[in-house]
Amino acid sequence: MKKKLNYCLLLMICFGWQISTTAQDLHFSQYFNSPLLVNPANTGFIPEGDHRFGLNYRNQWANIGNPYKTFSVFGDGQFFGERFENGWVGIGGALLRDVAGSGDLTTTRAFGSIAYHQAIGLGSLVSAGFNIGYVNKRIDFTKLTFDNQWNGKFFDISAPSGEPFATNQVNYFTLQAGVNYAYYPNANTYFNIGFSASNINRPKESFFTDGLVDTRVATRLTTFLNGSFRTSDAWIVNPNIYVSRMTTALEVVAGGTAQRDLSGNGNTQLILGGYYRVSDAFIPVVGVQKSGYKFTFSYDATSSALRNYNQSRGAYEMSIVKQGLIDKSKDIKCPSVRF
């Protein structure tokens, strides 16, 4: 049963079909901790400094065959601030790797990202950016069995699969672009809205013989709305919503976190919160931030029909983000609500 399910998942991925809201491009439930993946306009948009490094890890569907594991590292910084009046350039990059299913369907993506940020008046900031990525996808067909290999008693892996596979790996370039707008009327209130489009160039992606189906990767459209409100000397509340569409697959994640100042100066903070991915999962979040380091843990508790297969155990994620100032005598450029 598990091998058959993994094979069905493989075919859906290879042909570009979608099985649920979670069957999109590489993504994390903690989208707010993978900013360059969400929108290239976030490059150099660093609330607590002028440089940032991060690491994300996701382990998904461990109860359905082999778990799906996604890992990423990213880094970005602010540059040329002295050359622009109330503006700066963000430059960064990221590396992602995802391994899925019994056939070790492996996706590796590396991209470089650049953005420009310009303050407008006293309470607005406009940002625009793009990235160029290189993607490699490969699979080990020897770890899979197919209907044509059933000889009446067992699966004979030496028999032809009968599937029109042309290759076990594909490579292509992909383009993503995005814009952001931030509004901060006072020191206790902040709003940020962004929009991005990935796979703009519609690259081809298929392990099968050309001509069977349209093998171009669909464009993925993503938008988000963030808010940050300092409600007291000890609490900052951060509600947000994330919406992403890729062909017929729609992912909507809404919720928020609250930061509790534990040190009196914002140096040490407790992070608590939760999100809901519509028709898919409840996602509690807990974390801690200290001296520029933020560690966050979340867990996807499946609420969709998939819970019948994974006993509601969907995925867990961990992220570590470090941000700060190289020259502590400089002012922080990005608007945000701080302790």
* Cβ atoms within 10 Å, residue 83: 9
Question: Is 333 part of any domain?
Answer: no
> Six-digit token pair at 79?
């540059």
Question: Is 12 part of any domain?
Answer: yes
Say if residues 301 and 280 touch (Cβ distance below 8 Å).
no
Say if residues 294 and 314 touch (Cβ distance below 8 Å).
no
Q: What CATH code is carried by the domain that includes residue 61?
A: 2.40.160.40
Domain boundaries, position 320: 2-324
Q: How far apart are CA 287 and CA 33, in angstroms?
A: 12
* Cβ atoms within 10 Å, residue 230: 19
* Cβ atoms within 10 Å, residue 190: 23
Question: Is 331 part of any domain?
Answer: no
Residue 321 has pLDDT above 60, yes or no: yes
Task: Give the least confident one: 20-24, 225-229, 254-258, 292-296.
Answer: 20-24
Model pLDDT, residue 211: 67
Residue 121 has pLDDT above 90, yes or no: no
Q: Which of 146, 249, 206 is nearest to 14 (CA)?
A: 206
Give the pLDDT confidence of 238-268 residue by residue, as tens digits. Answer: 999 999 999 989 999 999 999 999 999 999 9
- 338 or 4, higher pLDDT: 338
Question: Is 334 part of any domain?
Answer: no
Question: Is 329 part of any domain?
Answer: no
Contacts of 211 (CB under 8 A, 6+ apart): none
Residue 178 has pLDDT above 90, yes or no: yes
Percentage of residues of the chain with pLDDT beyond 70: 87
Label residue 209 by pLDDT band (50, 70, 90): confident
Residue 156 has pLDDT above 90, yes or no: no
Say if residues 290 and 271 touch (Cβ distance below 8 Å).
no
Question: Is 127 part of any domain?
Answer: yes
Question: Is 332 part of any domain?
Answer: no
> Six-digit token pair at 182?
């931030």
Question: Is 122 part of any domain?
Answer: yes
Task: State the pTM of this model.
Answer: 0.86
Residue range 207-235: mean pLDDT, rounded: 88
What domain count does the chain have? 1
Residue 335 has pLDDT above 90, yes or no: no
Model pLDDT, residue 9: 44
